[in-house]
Structure formats: structure tokens, C-alpha cells
Amino acid sequence: MSKTSNALNTPGAKLIGYFPAGYPTLDESVEAAVAMCDAGVDVLEFGVPYSDPVMDGLVIQHATEEALANGFKLKNLFDAVREITSRVNSPVLVMTYWNPVMQFGIAEFARELAAAGAAGMITPDLIPDEAAEWLRISDELGLDRVFLSTPTSSDDRASVTANLSRGFVYAVSTMGITGAREDLDKLARGVVAKIRTADPEQKVAVGIGISTNDQVKEVNGYADGAIVGSVFITSYREGGIEALKSKVRELVAGLN
């Protein structure tokens, strides 16, 4: 299986930025996503609001709840992605829990995603062993498929994840839910090392708890990218588009 990534296909340090679709409204989330890419995010992670976000911290939960309350529907996702990809050069990955994809239809969801110009999908609650149809259709369409690896993943589990991910592996820096933390969990290095041992060609990006420029730089010292989410939502909530762009520029300063 090719490890060629749509998302991390250029050398250098990377910032992967998360923003929820539909927050606070669909049109505003599109403008926020475009602004993030224009300000320096290398890869956009566009999150699908879900009613049971078990992995997400309070900042993301509240944002996705607001998106759902304001009328976000899964069918809106593809038009939003199409609008974003028509306006930016940064690859766009959709992050979604698996139940909405299954309800929509895995093959149909993947085809709609590809037609909208997305690079692929991050699936936090789907393990490769249970992803047969997604593996098949993503191969057919050339979509990135990003699986997660955690500090408690066994060597065998890390090996399967490394071998079946395309684009990169999402290395979870700490056990628990997303959200900014003052100290980035040291276990992140162990997760990255385990993936590198399993497959030296596979790319790895670290997420959960990253919120400062120093942390972004630190992570890029041993991984292929840093994933940031909650701090962008907070910046947008407190200061709108300009604050969001300012935060992106702050986090990418000095990366390359």
C-alpha cells in the first residue's frame, strides 16, 4: 500500500489546524477555515459535529453543540468542503466519528468527499481491523485515511495502524480528551517512536493538548506535524476571524 500522502506531501515542519464545520454557522465556519489556511495552516482538519463526541474536550464539545443547534446537517458538509477547497491550496481532511459515516453510507460518503476535493478523512473511533470497506473505497479513490495510535497501543496494534494508515498516523499525546494543556505529555514521543519502528516510511502527526508555539516547534522536532484545535476555537470565539488568523500566525512563527 502506498504511503503517499495528500496531506503531508511536502517537506518541513507542519501545523495541522482543526475547526468544526457549522460553527457557529456553516458559512462562518467556511470563512474561518479559509482564514486559517490563508494565515499559515499547512493542513486543515474540518470536524464533523456529532451528538456524542467522546474524544472531544469542552471547548470543541460546546462549539459542535452550537453548530448542531444552529442547524448543521451532515449533507451540508460536502458543499462546505467544496467551497473551502476551491479557495485554498492547503489539503483538507475531514475528521469525523464513524457512526455518521455508516448512517450516510461509507462508499457514498467517501465519493462525496472526493468529489468535494477533500484529501481524506481522520476517524478517531475507527480501528483498522473494522475498516474493511473504508480501506477498499479509500484505495479506489486515493483518499488519505488517518487512524489514531495512543500511548496504550500495543506494538502489534501500532504496526497495524502504521501499515494501514495513508497520509499519516494521528499520535495521541496523552490519554483522555482533547484540549489545551500546559505541559505536552511526554508519552507522545513514545507513540511516535512506536510508529516509526513499525514503519519508518509512515508519517506521524501529534495531537491533543498542543496550544503554544513552543509546543508546535517541540513536536515538529520529532514528528511530522503538530495538530491544534481547541485554542483556535477559543481565539475565534473571543475575537472572530482576526483573532483566529493572529493565533495561527503565532503558532507557525519560526517553523520553517
- What are the catalytic residues? 45, 56
CA distances from 64 to 20, 74, 102, 254 (A): 6, 12, 19, 31
State the Cα–Cα distance between residues 128 and 181, nearest whole angstrom. Answer: 29
DSSP 163-203: HH-BS-EEEESSSS-----SS--THHHHHHHHHHHH-TT--
Nearest to 94 by CA among 136, 146, 51, 59: 146
* 50 and 96 Cβ atoms separated by less than 8 Å: yes
**Side-chain-side CA neighbours of residue 255 (13 Å):** 26
Name the DSSP letter for residue 48.
P
Give SS3 for 17: strand
Q: Where are the beta strands (DSSP E) in the chain?
A: 15-20, 43-47, 92-95, 120-122, 144-146, 148-149, 169-172, 204-207, 225-228
Q: How many Cβ atoms from other residues are within 10 Å of residue 30's Cβ? A: 21
State the Cα–Cα distance between residues 168 and 145, nearest whole angstrom. Answer: 8
